[in-house]
Chains A and B, each alone.
Chain A
Amino acid sequence: MASRKKILLKVIILGDSGVGKTSLMNQFVNKKFSNQYKATIGADFLTKEVMVDDRLVTMQIWDTAGQERFQSLGVAFYRGADCCVLCYDVTSPNSFKSLDSWRDEFLIQASPRDPDHFPFVVLGNKIDLENRAVSTKRAQQWCHSKNEVPYFETSAKEAINVELAFQTIARNALAQESEVDIGHEFPDQIKLSNDNKAKQDACSC
């Protein structure tokens, strides 16, 4: 088989500070978890090769700072994203309420070509904790209202659903990437024909 083009999928994780974005990424990539909290400054990334439907793809996962004051990397950072992962903490209603603004933030900064169908995935993290405050139903309703965004309840600490969630993320990102690829390389042809004349006549100023 001829070697197919290597594929890079850019995934961006967003969410309030402390919901476990770094932990989720670390659990998925390094299979490690640490109880110690360390705020991410700016952004950091890890890469991991995964199989999606018999295709080897490289996932580049960007972990961001929840605190806005560290967001210093600008719009170039969001450019070319193939999937956006929105995280909240199931024990923190405020982090759930923030999902709307994180989603808006992403759509504004990344300005994807088809915002209604851009792949998002929502992760409700920390389900290993007892003091749960956001119900599954409430989260599912939100995801439903946002054009059927896939929803997973995860625990980065106990490695629950992390692998599954990232598989879905990779698959949806790949679908997005392939879509963007078609016809993206060059703009539409500009046809020089008699049609232009008609337009000229319409405006003689």
Chain B
Amino acid sequence: MKEIPRSASPSLVQMEFESDLSQSDEYKSFRSTVPLRQIVVDNDALKVWKLYDAGPRSVRCPLVCLPPVSGTADAFYKQILPLTARGYRIISVEYPVYWNVNEWCEGFRRLLDLLEIDRAHIFGASLGGFLAQKFAELTCNRPRVASLILCNSFTDTKVFNYTDSSPVFWMLPATLLKKIIIGRFPRKLMDAHIADSIDFMVERLDRLSQSELASRMTLNCFPAYIEPQKVQVDVTILDVFDESALSYSVKEEMYKCYPSARLAHLKTGGNFPFLARAEEVNIYIQVHLRGFEGTHLCASDAGTPVER
């Protein structure tokens, strides 16, 4: 295990993004204050986990954010800045190429080991939420997950109807994979915040390599399901009532799997409410994490503002 010095990849810092959100002062402020860390946890030095770790390091049980298929670690910048200002430690993670869920979980476990995080609250968006549940399931005998916030997520990959083609994703060209992903985004008229969130995510999607895309699509679609009885932590299900990539039946299935979960609905928000409805999503995150205040699973340094 080793950490790659940041200077090793100057290209990442110089990347020019043009969408409205990427050009916003908030995003620029985020990029200029929170460093991108790159960490290798496997023997394969090409498997680089990228992450932003912000907020007080003294917090041993932070909130870890996992992006959806199209996302990168900076997709959660609207959570990182406001929530660290309130004393929370937030780590936004971007996963390298893994071709199956168990390997991913093993890699993620090593990442937590390396960061000296015993247990983490996980905010997982779509695929990120599926992986978070899998990780909670696979670590149920030696818990590494403190709680879950599942944002527009799912419990069975068959909902995407790509389980048959998932074994060949690895050989499809990147353009085709992008087309499959973008094809799931709504195309009708939408409010400006949702449109901005899609622009931002499409921009990130464009920067992903063929193998990154193919591996994420494989994780997303290869036949697998969650055994919720093994996920024995507090769950908040966060979803939107407008048109998102997931149908009502998928959401209903989610509610059934976690009957005692707190249901954090948003009237609207599209596929990426953490960008399009960040303020409301942040309120839900705070309400969720507040339940752990005063315990050893607290994700903040008792709410006092800190220097980022």
Please state if B287 and A42 are interface contacts (CB–CB under 8 Å). Answer: yes
- Evaluate whether A3 and B263 lie within 8 angstroms (CB atoms) in the complex, with A44-B287, A45-B287 already known: no
Binary interface encoding of chain B residues 250-266 relative to chain A, with 1 for a CB under 8 A from any of its CBs, else 0: 00000000000011111
Please state if A185 and B248 are interface contacts (CB–CB under 8 Å). Answer: no
How long is the Cα–Cα vector from A58 to B265 in the complex, in angstroms? 9
Residue of chain B at shortest CB distance from A43: B287
Please state if B280 and A79 are interface contacts (CB–CB under 8 Å). Answer: yes
B267 within 8 A of A: yes
A159 within 8 A of B: no
Binary interface encoding of chain B residues 78-104 relative to chain A, with 1 for a CB under 8 A from any of its CBs, else 0: 000000001000000000000000000
**Interface SS of B by simple majority:** mixed
- Evaluate whether A6 and B283 lie within 8 angstroms (CB atoms) in the complex, with A60-B265, A80-B267, A186-B189 already known: no
- Other A-B pairs beyond A58-B265, A79-B279, 8, CB < 8 Å: A7-B241, A8-B266, A8-B267, A42-B290, A45-B262, A76-B283, A80-B267, A186-B189
Chain B: interface residue count, which band? 10 to 19
Q: List 24 A-B contacts (CB under 8 A).
A: A7-B241, A8-B265, A8-B267, A10-B267, A41-B290, A42-B286, A42-B290, A43-B283, A43-B287, A45-B262, A47-B265, A58-B241, A58-B263, A60-B265, A73-B283, A73-B286, A74-B279, A76-B282, A76-B283, A79-B279, A79-B280, A80-B267, A185-B189, A185-B191
Please state if B241 and A8 are interface contacts (CB–CB under 8 Å). Answer: yes
Q: Which residues on A sit within 8 Å (CB–CB) of B287?
A: 42-45
How long is the Cα–Cα vector from A55 to B283 in the complex, in angstroms? 28
Q: Which residues on A sit within 8 Å (CB–CB) of B282?
A: 76
Residue of chain B at shortest CB distance from A82: B267
B176 → A minimal CB distance (Å): 32
Greatest chain A CB density within 10 A among B189, B267, B282 is at B267
B29 → A minimal CB distance (Å): 19
Interface size of A by CB at 8 A reads: 23
Q: Which residues on B sit within 8 Å (CB–CB) of A185?
A: 189, 191
B residues sitting closer than 8 Å to A (CB atoms) are 86, 189, 191, 241, 248, 262-267, 279-280, 282-283, 286-287, 290
Q: Which residues on B sit within 8 Å (CB–CB) of A58?
A: 241, 263, 265
B254 → A minimal CB distance (Å): 14
Residue of chain B at shortest CB distance from A48: B263
Q: Which residues on B sit within 8 Å (CB–CB) of A5?
A: 241
Please state if A47 and B263 are interface contacts (CB–CB under 8 Å). Answer: yes
Q: Which residues on B sit within 8 Å (CB–CB) of A186?
A: 189
Please state if A3 and B267 are interface contacts (CB–CB under 8 Å). Answer: no
Q: Which residues on A sit within 8 Å (CB–CB) of B248?
A: 3, 6
Q: Which residues on B sit within 8 Å (CB–CB) of A77?
A: 283
B273 → A minimal CB distance (Å): 13
How long is the Cα–Cα vector from A44 to B296 in the complex, in angstroms? 21
Lowest 6 A-B CB distances belong to which pairs? A76-B279, A47-B263, A8-B241, A6-B241, A8-B265, A8-B267
How long is the Cα–Cα vector from A45 to B265 in the complex, in angstroms? 11
How long is the Cα–Cα vector from A74 to B191 in the complex, in angstroms? 22
Q: Which residues on B sit within 8 Å (CB–CB) of A74?
A: 279
A8 → B minimal CB distance (Å): 5
How long is the Cα–Cα vector from A47 to B262 in the complex, in angstroms? 8
Residue of chain B at shortest CB distance from A75: B279
Residue of chain B at shortest CB distance from A58: B265
B47 → A minimal CB distance (Å): 38
Residue of chain A at shortest CB distance from B282: A76
